[in-house]
Amino acid sequence: MKKSELVFIPSPGLSHLIPTVETAKLLLLRDSRLAITVLLLPPIFKDPNAEIYSISTSISLTPDVKSPTSSQKSKIPASLFLHNSRWDIILILTLAAVVLDIFCTEFISVAAEFDLPAYLFFTSGAICLGLCQHLVSLRFDHNEDVTRYKNAEVDLPVPYFSLPVPAKVLPAVMVDEAFLPEIYLSHFKRFSEMKGVLINTFYDMEPYAVESLLSDDKTPEIYPVGPVLKVESKCFDEDDDVKKWLDDQPENSVVFLCFGTLGIFDEKQVREIAKGLENCGSRFLWSLKKRENSELEREESEYFEGFLERTKGSGRVMGWAPQAAVLAHPAVGGFVSHCGWNSILEGVWFGVPMATFPMHAEQQLNAFYLVKELGMAEVITLDYQMDVTGEKPPESVGWEVIAGAIRRLMASEGGSGMKRKVEEMGKKAREALVEGGTSYNALTLFIEDVMKNRD
């Protein structure tokens, strides 16, 4: 029987590529009538931690679009270069639909030329999708200058949140002129042109936002199909010293610090984190990435060397870390995170409570939601924001704040209630994915809709 072909087009970057490929694999496991091609766009910024992921042979990976020049990289989103893409692939495949990343909306018009429906795969949560739709409405329906909310000390009523949202946690790409917000908002403006939207979330994680999207008559069909994770990705080597060290630690005694592929701090903030760890009283494992072409000042270097010596009995510092494997380890009882959506879902999956240290994109919004609406995280900061140019570091978060948040996170009394909440949510995440679960059923409805496109 001839298969129905889907083409997935993710944005560059692991945080978009991994959930896209995992969703494609999930679809193939669920229905043998499907075949999938993933169009790969070259990354604008080299990711030194990129790895080759195991992918079903039923998925074709097709390199395509030309990379931007180095002079173009700093200001212009990758999606603007999609116009160079070859579409001869459409001529040789019998396609049922295309599934696009939110920053690949230029392909909607191309798909329409071939009379193909376009679906969206949204790699962040329903809260982010709803918030961005609200900002689009303010900008284009009400002609409001949303950049006025940058760093504003106001709380905004947002239909997709049960609580008012502080302006300081709005995604900078939407309200900061340095990020060219009109370009990003224009992508979300095309949201209503989609036939349906797959979201990497599950109903119990974001019931208010999901219900708000479902009840909005301007919104395409919503399919909450998550959590879509690669939790079996790169594990520890058998002789890994870090794993051996974790194996020797008591259960739930180690706080794990990991800040994503872009989580690189300036030297001053590194020192504040180190002092916080030295004074928090907890065992720790810190995934620390070094800023390129950066050398510590002598004073900073001497402090850090002393820090490593003083804490060698209670902690470890490493470079890249297999995040899922660390979170799965029984010794890990807390997670200091940048609050990227994939990392939040992993923390929930493994039942590890979090402390918030957002840095980029929608991470501040995610942190606010984790703390204020779900009660599953302690606050280190909600509004730390890396400068778009990288030339002006944000004001450092002090070590006292960091140490205090980690103490609260790891405390047996305060942390245990939070841990129960996260563990319960992790159980609901697993239930959502099994037959009869909310995400299982949503994926079934999506497949049925795709198959109708063949008729």
Active site residues: 16, 101
Residue given tokens 């409001």 in the structure block? 144
14 within 8 A of 103, measured Cβ to Cβ = no
Q: Count how many Cα atoms sit within 13 Å of the Cα of residue 396 in the half-sphere of its side chain.
A: 17
376 within 8 A of 422, measured Cβ to Cβ = yes
Q: Which residue type is seen at 187?
A: H
In order, the DSSP letters of 320-344 are S--HHHHHHSTTEEEEEE---HHHH
Residues 235, 320, 234, CA angle at the centre, nearest 5°?
20
Residues 73, 79, 80, CA angle at the centre, nearest 5°?
70
* Rg over CA atoms, the chain: 22
Which residues, in sequence order, are bridge partners of residue 8?
A: 38, 99
Q: Residues in the chain, how many?
A: 455
Backbone angles phi, psi at 228, to 5 degrees: -100, 110
340 within 8 A of 15, measured Cβ to Cβ = yes
- Of 253, 256, 257, give the one whose Cα is nearest residue 397: 257
25 within 8 A of 56, measured Cβ to Cβ = yes
